[in-house]
Each structure stands twice: as C-alpha cells, then as structure tokens.
Chains A and B, each alone.
Chain A
Amino acid sequence: MKTLIPFAVTALLASTLAQAADLTVDVAGLKDAKGQVMVAVYDRADNFLKQPMRAAMVAAQAGKVQLVINDLPPGDYAITVFQDKNDNGALDTNPVGMPIEPYGFSNDAAGHMGPPSFEQARVHLAENGSQTTINLR
C-alpha cells in the first residue's frame, strides 16, 4: 500500500499542473498611484460579487498595473477590480450605493443601473493562459 502513495501524490500533482493556467489582468485607466488595486475572480454566476474564488492586489500606479493570477483551472471567469484609494479594503460607495472609487469589470461589461451579470463579464481562460484588460471607470 505504502508504495502506492507517492504514485498517487505524483499523479494528483501532475493532473493539477496539467489543468493550471495563468490569467494576466491588465488594469488600465488609473488616474493616480493612491492605494491598492484589488482584483477578485469569480468562477460561478451564483457567487458573483459575493464569494470570489481568488483575490489579488497590487500597489496602484498612475496609468496601468498588471496582476497575474496563477494556477487557475482553465474555464470561464468574471473579474472585478477597484482602486482602493484610501486602503480601507472596501469599494467605497456614496449613500445611494454608487461606487466612489474607480472600478471595472472584465469585458469592460456595463450593467444597467447596477453591476453587470456574470455572463456579461465572462472571460475565457485557455489552457495555455489568457490575458485581459480592464479599464477603470
């Protein structure tokens, strides 16, 4: 039995590696270098904007920043991004719920009086990796 374990672990590792791809997210349209750029990755419509499967952040700089989300299973994702200018860890909104920090969605998707759907923001991550650009607004 014992001799089988290394084999099983190796097989598991191999299969994981075979199914892992890197998603490169370029975030454009930063007006200043305040705070952090926060990225959240969602893999299912039913947890969109609720429970990201992955999150990442990078220091803001004027113009453009790049984040690479490593080792994601190839497939469809929706990505949200915002510039946390005051480093409070949240996308600040005004009293009627409109964002007051720069934000964006993959596909540069736009909702109607609210955020877009997972479907509108859906991007595909290929087996050999993909790149997407999100413009802050």
Chain B
Amino acid sequence: MDRRHFLRNVAASSLALSLPALARADETQSAFLSQLPRQPRLATLKGGVADQQGGAASMEGRWPGEIRGTFYRNGPARFEAGGERYHHWFDGDGMVHAWHIEGGQVRHEARFVQTQKYVEETAASQFLYPTFNTFHDRRPLGSNDTVNVANTNLLPHAGKLYALWEGGSATEIDPQGLATRGIKAWRDDLASLPFSAHPKVTPDGTLWNFGVVHGGNKLLLWRIDPNGSLGKFGMIDVPSLPIVHDFVVTQRYMVFLVAPFDLKRGPETTILGYQTWNGNRPMRAVVVDRADFTLRKVIEMPAGMVLHLGNGWDEGQTVRLDACLSPDDGTLQSLNSAMRGETPHAPNTSSVLVTLDLERGTARTDVLLRGTEFPRVALADVGQRYRQLFVTTSQRDVHFGMTGVARIDVESGKVDRYEYGADWVVEEHIPVPKASGKGQWLLGAAYDVRRQQTVLAVFDGAHLAQGPVARARLPYAAPLCFHGNFLAA
C-alpha cells in the first residue's frame, strides 16, 4: 500500500468513525417522522409541546359531583432538541399536569418541570447531559440531580407536591400553578440521593420509598412521616443491584422484585445500557423489614422483569403481592424502538399474584390476567389484604400503549373489563374513593387517536364494563403521562 492510499484510507475510516455519533440522533428523528403516518398511536411520543399547556374540557355525560379536587399527573414531554431525538421514552424531560375538577367541570394545565437540566438545555438549545438511554456529555455532571428529569410521577403528600424520578431527588412543585420550587433534601446530609418514583403511602399517611444508586449495589430505604418530615433512612447492600422501578409495602415488609441484569459499564454507557439481560440468572424477591430497614429474606424466582407492582400484604410467614411480570426485558427495550417509530413487540406483561413463603424461601406465581400494566389499588388497601386490583389492558395486535381498563378480583380471579379500543392510547387509571365510603370511582386519561385529543374519563369502579360515566374532552392532545395521584378538594 503506498502512502497516499494509506492516508486516503485513514481519512475515510475516521470519517466513518465520526459519522455514526453525529448521525445516530438524526437517524432516530428521521426514522420516527417517516414511520409516523403509519403509526398514529406514536403521535403521543412526538414531543414539541409548548412550555405550558392549558384549557377547559368539554363534558360528555354527567360528571359525578362528589369527585372534586385535582388529578396530578407526570410524564416525559420533551424528546428533541437541537435536531437530536432521544432514543427512549423514559429519556424525556418531565411535564407536570393538573386536572382541576370542580362542580362537574374539568380544566387541564401542564408545565415543564424547571429542572437544572431542562433550564440549561433550553438556554443552550441542545441536549447537554446523559439520560436513561441517550448519551450526551457536553457538560460535566455534578450529581444525580444534574440529570434529574423529574418525569415519572407527581405525588401530593403532607401539603406538598413532588415530581419524582427514580435516579435522583424529589422535585418540589407548587400545587397551585405547578411552578417548580426546587430539589428536595429530606435532611442536609441526604442530598442528591435517589428517591424513587413509586412511593407507597399507607392509610396512616406514612410515605414509604426506596432508591437505587446505579453501580453502587446499595438499596436506599426511606420513611417519610405523615407530617412530611423524614422518619427514617436506611441503606442495605444488595449484590448486582440493577434498576428497580417499584415495590410493595405490607404491614411488616417492603418487597422488591429484582430482575436478573448483569451490570457492565463502558465509557459512554447509559443507565439502560449498563443493564444486560441474563435469563440464566434468577429474579430475586428482596424482603426488607420495614420497622428497622434490615434485610429479612432473599427468595430466588424464575428469571423475569417487573416494572410495576400494585400492592401486597403479609400473613404469618406468607407475603402476597401482585406484579406486572414479563419474561424478559423486551417491553423495556421496545420503548427504544417506539422512539424510532417502530413497534416490533406487543406488550407481554401479565398481572400475577406472587406468594412468598418466608420460612421455606419459596415463591409461587399465579397469572391473574395477561396483557396488563399500571396496577393500582384503593388508598385504603395499601399494605393491607385487598381484593380489587385496577389495571390497564392491551390488545394482542396493538403494539404500543394500552387500550383498556380492568378490575381484577385477586381472590376469585373474576375480571370486569372495558376496552376503549385500538384507536385509544390508555394511560394509568386510578381508584378514587366514593363519598359513600363504599367502592371506588376509576379515573384516568386516554389519547383519542382519531381526533388527536386527550380525554379524562371516570368509571364506576364496580361496573367498568358499562363504560365511562362521563368523559371530559380537551380540545388538544396533552403529552402522554406515566403516573399520577388524586388530591381531593
């Protein structure tokens, strides 16, 4: 090879090396845009919404006058900046929503959480920091909270409102007007510690939560007392601890289902990229004593992946809980594809009832209903023995998002179900107690694909199959949310 030839090859290969990094993000964007006309359900992942949104809903049917208050929601809403598109749904910056319900009328408002990341990236007109599964390092990180997107849940507790993301601190939001108040430190020396997006509030008003330090194999445990102050903080070592999204609390325990990911970090590894599925390893049920935050038991189960759990209770040496279980991490990975406009996998999660025998160290899994997500139970049932489990449902031939709601009796297995249909992307629905003290309303938003509008529906929780009692329709599409909670007026 002569020298000129050699130099030409070097130039060509360095071009090839530098191009993928530049082109990758644009590739995500152009793939998404080209697929969008054939994938109208994915319009929910477009992003590009204004900093604030708001409007009055028109009412279809008669809204139950006793449901008065605010339905708080949160979800990622900015997916693109500077011509680059995020690779995973979970990457987006959080936008907090409030559905104000009063006098049978519904009004919606939404604002982006003004996280450090959102503010700096808005000013720079480009992404600067790494996210769940898109790598950028245009500015150095200070702590977990430098990359806190506050995009997963919005929880009222003890008069305060918190936007939550599992990798960092809670972000306090003004319940009136949704302005961002700032990062919450429960105690000065506990700043910047992960406070996950799925706390459980037991009927006495105590908030239980956990956090995972990625790469640290530390499971952090939190108890926030009913008055909103820190009750207890603890930390236990769990070997090979990957991402953990949710848990249940029972009268005596906090229970985590830990998926079998191997953890391998490279120089540009994202949080998701750090996790490599290993189906040869077991899933672990990690049982922690909630009174003193000590490890009670680890029980091995067949490999499986759980994002969401509904509830659990304990009786003697037995713990029972429900979880949305998938055989592997396919669902989580498919949310990468969705950002490229592809929908290769139908959701493959099932609601299961897990029975743990703490004495024998055994676990048993019984399927309740296939194709489910977003399990919720009545507020009064959290940590107690319960029968009614509310979930969203999906159809086998619909490959992105949910299409209906169901109530499962976890004892009899009986299912009461309503299908919105394939032209709807159905968000999490949550039970709201009826004023009579008996039974629940079921409240939730859904995106009407044909009319490109977001609708808030209310069902009689005892009769889902009859369809919604009333629907409040916005004249626009609100970004799809993950999780939320109702605060009664």
Contact = CB atoms under 8 A, between A and B. Distances in A.
Interface stretch (B138-146, B304-312, B470-478): B138-146
Interface in B248-279: 265, 267
Given A112-B267, A113-B265, A100 B142 contact: no
B184 interface: no
Contact of A100 (B146, B188, B216): B188
B415 interface: no
Contacts of B191: 94, 100
Contacts of B214: 113
B192 A100 contact: yes
B142 A137 contact: yes
Given A95-B193, A95-B235, A137-B146, A109 B188 contact: no
Nearest to A109: B140
A103 B143 CA distance: 10
A108 B267 CA distance: 18
B190 A110 contact: no
Given A113-B215, A113-B265, A137-B146, A95 B140 contact: no
Nearest to B142: A137
A92 B185 CA distance: 14
A95 B216 contact: no
Interface in B192-214: 192-193, 213-214
Interface in B146-198: 146, 188-193
A33 interface: no
Interface residues of A, number: 15
B137 A94 contact: no
B218 interface: yes
Contacts of B267: 112
Nearest to B269: A112
B143 A95 contact: no
A94 B233 CA distance: 12
Contacts of B142: 99, 102-103, 137
Interface of B: 137, 140-144, 146, 188-193, 213-216, 218, 220, 233, 235, 265, 267
Given A137-B141, A137-B146, 9 more contacts: A92-B189, A94-B191, A94-B193, A95-B190, A95-B193, A96-B218, A100-B143, A103-B142, A108-B140
